[in-house]
Amino acid sequence: MSFGTIPYKRAWYLDVVSSGSVDMRPLICVLEMLRNGNFEEVRSLVPLLTHSSLDVRLYAQQLFADVCSNDDACAFNLALEASKTLDETRRIVLRMGQTLSLSVIPILLTWREALNDPEIDEYVCDALSAILPIDGVDQFSVSRPNLRKTYEAKIASLDASSYYYRGKKLFLGDIAKELIVASTVAFKEKTKVIAASQAQILSNFCGQKCPVINGQLVTGSDMDALLSYVEVIAATKWKVGSKYFFRHEIATRRGDR
């Protein structure tokens, strides 16, 4: 997969990209500060969400999704307003799901109503499900009139200061277990592992590339590497409901930084 002219890697935070045609230096500079835990620099990403270069926009949107606080997440409105194609809008919607923030759910629902495009509904549903799935809500029912009230009621019953993964407070241990189970099944059945987001979340949190990624044929040595990897990151005390980037905890609210 590529974004514009630059080959795109989900683990690009570990292997910084460059481009001969686009000046990526401002983005790379921000990235380096974020990797060191300086989350005040999240604000520097906001103008890049609407940059004239597609490459810069899409990389900035991915990075922003991974480091934004609940308060910051509203900046995705700017990215959606600046989107130039349906494909870019779809990608932004998926990135919003990767924030793992309840704050993006009202934004997703508002834009779904404004766009009123069945081609977007599947992506909105995927983003919602990544954070807070609700029984009976799929790409065919996401347009129902009372869905906003359903989500408002559900969110009101939760801790809005926490981050959520598939309806539960985000916890790295749970995600590691999911990846181990999926990888074990793939290894035994000699099929490609199905793990759409777990490996990237683990890589983002600990700052070390996960040895197993989505779509990989898992070998015995891969399983050994994964178990060793999880053993190492399990030595760190990860808070339930918190989001991290390169082992630095991301504030739940802007004022908490």
Q: Which residue has the tokens 């103008």?
A: 47
Q: Among 14, 26, 22, which Cα is nearest to 55's?
A: 22
Angle between helices 86-97 and 118-131 (to 10 degrees): 20
Ranges of the chain with pLDDT below 70:
1-22, 253-257
Q: Which residues pair with 161 in a beta bridge?
A: none
Q: What pTM was computed for the model?
A: 0.88
Cα Rg of the chain (Å, integer): 18
Answer for the pair 226, 180: CB distance below 8 angstroms, yes or no: yes
pLDDT at residue 3 in the model: 33
Answer for the pair 121, 142: CB distance below 8 angstroms, yes or no: yes
Provide long-range contacts, Cβ within 8 A and 24+ apart, for 149-156.
151/105, 151/106, 151/109, 152/106, 155/102, 155/105
Alpha-carbon distance of 67 to 226, in angstroms, equals 25
Q: Which residue has the tokens 């080959």?
A: 7
Q: Which residues pair with 7 in a beta bridge?
A: 2
pLDDT at residue 257 in the model: 52
